[in-house]
């Protein structure tokens, strides 16, 4: 998750290394999973119960990196410079509602990975160097989450081909709308809405792999056209940016562009994966009824996208 104000700086920092360095799994390949015994609905947890993985049978991988509340006392809080420690409230409950809706409506199970630990202890939407501060006790927990995320993406890609990835978050911004992060800045979204630089923007976006897989899809249509996730959600009562109705955050609007998990999942490391980050507003998640409605509309929208894209 990153604010637009940080984007310029982060681009500068990342530019020199992004092409040459795998941003996440730098070691720990020995712990990678071989899919043995994987069946839909199987739940896998680490020994402490801090990370939960669900094997699915639908080409959607859902990641919930910092909605947890467990704070082991022996782990120091993350207090180093640049550490965000705010809890993404209700995002685990949103994932539960989505799982339930998939089961009820389609008798299907999405792939899921959830961190139940507090973000004060670890941030699972960060590369390892930023996920922890000086205390490295939770390094194996970081690998558990990210090695499984890697496995879920590879497994779904092998089994189902085109795979949608969603990283689920919560924002506290004033404007009540879903902020969909496609790894594009406000300026890039502005260009997109005007039809400028479309091939460059498509290649920079978290839909780059989708555009490669299906040349019939164009980036403008996929992000702000009739079948875009934001457009579909907005039509169903969940205002969203970008969407056909609200293609670009206004100047000065707070807007999250995407995060480390979205960047990695949609990178060329997983050529069959495309996706986005959802930053949900409080009105879409703060009651059980709203979460159930959100889940219903999300599943409907994903079903459209799976067919159209």
Which residues are near Zn ion by CB under 5 A? Answer: 1, 88, 169
Give me the least distance between CB of 74 and Zn ion, in Å please: 25
CB-based contacts of 280, cutoff 8 Å, min separation 6: 91, 94, 168, 169, 170, 171, 178, 294
| Cβ at position 91, least distance to Zn ion in Å | 7
Helix ranges restricted to H, the chain: 4-15, 91-106, 128-131, 139-160, 186-194, 198-204, 208-213, 219-224, 229-235, 260-265, 288-308
Q: Tell the smallest beta-carbon distance from residue 84 to Zn ion (Å).
A: 8
- Give the shortest CB-36-to-Zn ion separation in angstroms: 32
Instruction: For residue 257, give every residue at least 6 positions away whose Cβ sits within 8 Å of its Cβ, in sequence order, or none.
Output: 2, 4, 7, 181, 182, 183, 184, 185, 186
**Closer residue to Zn ion, CB minimum distance, 169 or 244:** 169
- CB of 66 or CB of 297, closer to Zn ion: 66
Tell me whether residue 154 or residue 171 sits nearer to Zn ion (CB atom). 171
Six-digit token string for 288: 């059980």
Instruction: In angstroms, give the least distance from the CB of 92 to Zn ion.
Output: 12
To Zn ion, the closest distance from the beta carbon of 29 in angstroms equals 27
In angstroms, the Cα distances linking 83 to 2, 5, 115, 124 are 12, 16, 17, 12
Smallest gap from Cβ 67 to Zn ion, in A, equals 8
Q: What share of the chain is helix, strand, coil (3-state, %, to 5)?
A: 40, 15, 45
Please give the Cα distance from 304 to 228 (Å, whole number): 9
Identify which of residues 1 and 228 has a Cβ nearer to Zn ion in the complex: 1
Residue 154 vs 169, nearer CB to Zn ion: 169
Q: By C-beta, is 112 or 219 nearer to Zn ion?
A: 112
CB-nearest residue to Zn ion: 169
Which residue, 126 or 290, is less far from Zn ion as judged by CB? Answer: 126
Answer whether 207's CB lies under 8 Å from 219's CB.
yes
Residue 288 neighbours by CB distance under 10 Å? 11
Sign of the C-alpha dihedral computed for residues 192, 197, 202 and 204 taken in this order: negative
């Amino acid at each position: 998750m990153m604010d637009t104000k940080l984007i310029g700086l982060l681009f500068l920092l990342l530019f020199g290394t992004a092409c040459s360095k795998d941003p996440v799994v730098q070691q720990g390949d020995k712990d990678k999973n071989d899919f043995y015994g994987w069946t839909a609905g199987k739940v896998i947890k680490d020994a402490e119960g801090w990370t939960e993985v669900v094997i699915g049978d639908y080409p959607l991988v859902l990641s919930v990196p910092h909605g947890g509340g467990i704070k082991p006392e022996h782990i120091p809080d993350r207090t180093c410079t640049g550490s965000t420690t705010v809890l993404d409230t209700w995002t685990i409950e949103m994932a539960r509602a989505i799982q339930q809706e998939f089961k009820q409506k389609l008798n299907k199970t999405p792939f899921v990975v959830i961190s139940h630990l507090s973000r004060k202890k670890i941030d699972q939407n960060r590369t390892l160097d930023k996920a922890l501060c000086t205390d490295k006790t939770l390094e194996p927990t970081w690998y558990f989450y990210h090695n499984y995320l890697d496995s879920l993406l590879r497994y779904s890609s092998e089994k189902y081909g085109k795979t949608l990835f969603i990283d689920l978050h919560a924002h506290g911004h004033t404007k009540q709308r879903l902020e969909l992060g496609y790894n594009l800045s406000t300026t890039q979204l502005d260009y997109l809405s005007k039809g400028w630089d479309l091939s460059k923007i498509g290649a920079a976006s978290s839909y780059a792999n989708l555009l490669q897989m299906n040349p019939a899809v164009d980036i403008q249509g996929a992000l702000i056209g009739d079948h875009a996730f934001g457009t579909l959600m907005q039509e169903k009562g969940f205002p969203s940016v970008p969407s056909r109705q609200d293609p670009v955050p206004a100047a000065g609007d707070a807007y999250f562009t995407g995060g480390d998990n979205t960047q990695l999942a949609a990178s060329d490391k997983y050529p069959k994966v495309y996706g986005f980050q959802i930053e949900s507003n409080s009105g879409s998640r703060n009651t059980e009824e709203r979460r159930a409605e959100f889940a219903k509309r999300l599943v409907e929208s994903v079903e459209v996208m799976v067919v159209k894209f």
